[in-house]
Amino acid sequence: MIYDYTLKANNGSDVALSDYKGKVLIFVNTATRCGFTPQYKELENMYEKYHSQGLEIIDIPCNQFMEQAPEDDAGIQRFCSLNYKTKFPRMKKADVNGENELPLYTFLKSQQRFKGFGNGLKATAMSLLLRKRDWHYKENSDIKWNFTKFLVDRQGNVIGRFEPTDSMKDLEAGVQNCL
What is the set of active-site residues?
34
- Residue 26 DSSP code: E
On whether the CB atoms of residues 84 and 41 are closer than 8 A, the answer is yes
Q: Which of 86, 105, 119 is nearest to 150 (CA)?
A: 105
Q: Which of 92, 101, 95, 111 is nearest to 152 (CA)?
A: 111
Structural element, H or E, at residue 14: strand 14-16
158 forms bridges with which residues in the sheet?
Answer: 152
Q: How far apart are CA 38 and CA 121, in angstroms?
A: 17
- Residue 79 DSSP code: H
Q: Is the four-CA dihedral 98, 64, 91, 111 of positive or negative sign?
A: negative
